[in-house]
Structure 1
Amino acid sequence: MRLASLAAGLALVASSIAPAQTPPPREDKLERVVIVMRHGVRSAMSSPVELGRYSRRAFPRFKVPAGHLTANGATLVTMLGGWYAAQYRQLGLLGASDCAVYYWANHTQRTEATATALAAGLTPGCAAPIHQSAAAPDPLFEAPQTPLAPLDAPRMLAAISARVDGDLAAWDARQTPDRDRFEALMLQCRRIPCSTTERTRVQRRLGDTPITMRIDATGKPDLTSPSLQVAGIAESLVMAYADGLAFPGWSGIDAATIGKALTVHGAGIDLRTRTPEVGRQTSSYLAMRLLATLQRGAGATALADPIGDAEKIVVVSGHDGTVTMLAGLLGLDWALRDYGAGEAAPGGGLVFELWRRGATGKSIVRVRYVAQGLDQMRYRIPLSAQTPPEIVAIPVPGCGDPCPLPRFTRYVLDQV
């Protein structure tokens, strides 16, 4: 398919599924934005040999070390940064050559490189230092160092257990149809579920994974099950597709099929990272500093240090858990066409916008989730008003969209 035709098709599909978003009144003024994002497309964390034990065909090979941002990943994030720049110039937040963006990244190659790549698109020509904590681990990203909610593994595990009524095996059994769909893609089965014969054609099967729910030797919650085993394999599949890698001998490798196969992965993410107690222990510090950043200059008393130095946009470059655990803490939900519900897409992020009402002068908060679609990444479709990334408006629970800043403040404080 020619790229122009594909781009037009993507725009048509996006317009048909995007939720209705009421544009802000023209007299409203956008004052600040905080973007909490996942790093861009990275290489698999496991080797192709290890991943290939679960698939009938050889798994694609990346060209960079395990867990590193790929060259295409950097290009895609830069494209996204360019879209943000155009968007916020149009909304009057940024000037034509505005450098008022602050970048903060976790201490990993992929998060640092993602921040650098985003800056190349969002603030081209600007000196854009990537800020980090003086010591690792950074409490914005690492739970054991979070001052507001020190890790309490038994309490966290109890909260996860309560969501499955203490029966992880029963939860796993409910995921069977979606797990079968994922397995059928990996094993290239003709029917769903795969036959016994087809399942014996690989070295390892998802069903071989034991079901456990315990505290591990490091003192952290540890959950395993056939459905949860999908996580690392699914992430590697998504990254390989988004990176534009070839899948020799594979059939059914397209965005729609992968999106359907990711349903079971989304369920696992929801259980492991979006349980509110998990978010409270891992993301309270980030939530408080995010809130303080939005409150700066809005006449509110902040209870934590803001991120940055009064820049118009603050970017926090982290991991999938950075996004999903913060979302779990704040009860923020979204669904994209190409991913499991609530999944953090490569380069995608939660976007918090602070607006001032022109009629009343009062501050309001709008929350969005923004991410490139799988085909937008695989084919490096330029982002524009005609082919935008996927954007989901997210109402704040009990407050809506938009949410007055005082109510948003009370809501955040109630969750942490």
Structure 2
Amino acid sequence: MATLPISGRPLARAASRWLVLIAMILPVFPAQADMPLQLERVVLLYRHGVRTPLPGEIQLDEVSGKPWPTWRQAPSELTPHGAAGARLMGQYDRQRLAAAGLFSVHGCPTPSQLSFWANTDQRTIASAQALAQGFAPGCPIQVGHLPQGSEDPLFHPMEAGATAWNAHDAVTSILASTGEPDALTEPHADALQFMMTVMGCDQRHHPDWCEPSHWHGTLAAPTSSERMTLSGPIATTSGTAESILMAYAEGFPNRAVGWGRIKPGQLESLSQLHALLFDLYARPDYMAERTASVLSHRILGVLQDEQAPRLNVFVGSDNNIVALASVLHLHFKMPSYAQDDPPIGGALGIELWREPGGSQRYVRVFYQAQSLPQLRALSHSPPATVSLLPPACVSNKNGLCRFADILPLLQRAEARAR
């Protein structure tokens, strides 16, 4: 596997700074609380780091013709800045898990102790490689993946034919649970209005899509198609807003981020528009259970296999994270992002804990992510970490959930896999 160049001396200095910061902010591990517990395994589902815009992602242009910022890399690729952010997250994971006693602070873990598996896009493979380099600098850690550009059923089960689904059934189910797309956008008219301001809508430049009377959308499955078709403001603003967020996280000058019309505190409004797409394509039960079907099967295998690696890292995309969170009936809100919008380069995690000498197992579900300002500055301060308790769980005095409580949720999604 190709590796990205990394400097050992700066990393050593950074590691010591992070270790001090982690010691200051980390919550008490359950093993240190009233009931002694032992951390056995960890699953991290990461979203890739900062990338260039995807083909077709930008659906709106600045109304007066001002150009979008120019990226140096090809479309859809992880940037060097994105790789640096991922290395910081890998470094944080190493120090945090070392503090929990799962790994040593330094040195190369054995191949049996950890596993990295990425989706087949360049951005996910390169993100996994950067995470591995941050976790164990200079160590020969292999990142597993299928051939680049192929459909990995772990991340794309519907496209790979690994789960049965039908576009018409999907639309019927989604509309039954969410209503028409307008029902999702109506509570966020302020975010749409802000987006129009960012795009330059004014009295002189005012195409139809600038006007609220045109903010109507539909979700359908044409008779001749096996795909769903979405029209309206969610379709046009979600990817457009995400491209602006990526430019901010990449570190473009303020004048190039939304043409200088955005203050950092307003980024959450754009994040809200990006998140609305998942309320249709990833969060409804029909979509969530199918999107997370093969992944749920793999996670169950890891959590139930006594010989599984201590750390299991999967690197995919935002829809994978939203689908798994939905399977667990979880919502999340991370700093600088809107509700249920997966942060760039962040991870949904599951830890497995056990009473020493006992058979009862517990899990802690959490989200960890750098804020957009942290990612923009490549800050060495630790990311935010938020513990999430699935509604099916009755937490113990350590704030953990019995593994048996989330088992049926993962099994329900797993059953959708062929």
Alignment match of 2:115 (pick from 98, 102, 113): 102
Alignment match of 1:366 (pick from 359, 364, 367): 364
Quick check: 1:179–1:227 contact (8 Å CA) kept in 2? Answer: no
Distance 1:294 1:153, change over 3 A: same
Shift of 1:390: 1.4
3-state SS, counterpart of residue 260 of structure 2 = coil
Q: Which residue of 1 aligns with 2:220?
A: 214
Q: Which residue of 2 aligns with 1:223?
A: 230
Whole-angstrom CA distance in 2 between matches of 1:32 and 1:395: 18
The percent of aligned pairs where both chains have the same amino acid is 27
Distance 1:254 1:323, change over 3 A: same
Distance 1:248 1:91, change over 3 A: same
Alignment match of 1:412 (pick from 397, 400, 410): 410
3-state SS, counterpart of residue 71 of structure 2 = coil
Residues 238-387 of structure 1: matches in 2 within 5 Å? 238-248=245-255, 250-297=259-306, 310-358=308-356, 360-382=358-380, 387=381
3-state SS, counterpart of residue 25 of structure 1 = helix
3-state SS, counterpart of residue 300 of structure 2 = helix
Whole-angstrom CA distance in 2 between matches of 1:296 and 1:92: 20
3-state SS, counterpart of residue 392 of structure 1 = strand
Whole-angstrom CA distance in 2 between matches of 1:181 and 1:406: 45
Amino acid at match of 1:169: D
Deviates more, 1:360-369 or 1:30-39: 360-369
Q: Which residue of 1 aligns with 2:167?
A: 153
> Tell me, which stretches of 5 or more residues in structure 1 are unaligned?
1-10, 188-193, 298-308
Q: Which residue of 1 aligns with 2:71?
A: 62
Whole-angstrom CA distance in 1 between matches of 2:226 and 2:28: 46
Amino acid at match of 1:115: A
TM-score, length-scaled by structure 2: 0.81
Tell whether 2:134 aligns with 1:121.
yes
Tell whether 2:244 aligns with 1:237.
yes
Whole-angstrom CA distance in 1 between matches of 2:130 and 2:229: 34
Shift of 1:312: 1.1
Distance 1:164 1:117, change over 3 A: same
> Tell me, which stretches of 5 or more residues in structure 2 are unaligned?
1-17
Shift of 1:412: 1.9
Residues 75-114 of structure 1: matches in 2 within 5 Å? 75-95=84-104, 96-99=106-109, 100-114=113-127
Q: Which residue of 1 aligns with 2:8?
A: none
Quick check: 1:54–1:205 contact (8 Å CA) kept in 2? Answer: no
3-state SS, counterpart of residue 292 of structure 2 = helix
Shift of 1:121: 0.2
Deviates more, 1:41-50 or 1:220-229: 41-50
Alignment match of 2:37 (pick from 25, 28, 31): 28
Whole-angstrom CA distance in 1 between matches of 2:363 and 2:211: 43
Amino acid at match of 2:368: V
Q: Which residue of 1 aligns with 2:10?
A: none
Distance 1:55 1:325, change over 3 A: farther
Quick check: 1:146–1:282 contact (8 Å CA) kept in 2? Answer: no
Distance 1:28 1:54, change over 3 A: farther
Amino acid at match of 2:317: H
Shift of 1:226: 1.4
Quick check: 2:116–2:313 contact (8 Å CA) kept in 1? Answer: yes
What is the number of residues matched between the two proteins? Answer: 377
Shift of 1:128: 1.2
TM-score, length-scaled by structure 1: 0.82
Quick check: 1:105–1:115 contact (8 Å CA) kept in 2? Answer: yes
Quick check: 1:139–1:146 contact (8 Å CA) kept in 2? Answer: yes
Whole-angstrom CA distance in 1 between matches of 2:70 and 2:209: 19
Quick check: 1:175–1:227 contact (8 Å CA) kept in 2? Answer: no
Whole-angstrom CA distance in 1 between matches of 2:260 and 2:339: 25
Whole-angstrom CA distance in 2 between matches of 1:54 and 1:365: 50
**Cα deviations by residue, 1:276-311 (Å, 9 ceiling, x for unpaired):** 2101122111111111101111xxxxxxxxxxx722
Distance 1:142 1:148, change over 3 A: closer
The alignment's C-alpha RMSD in Å is 3.0
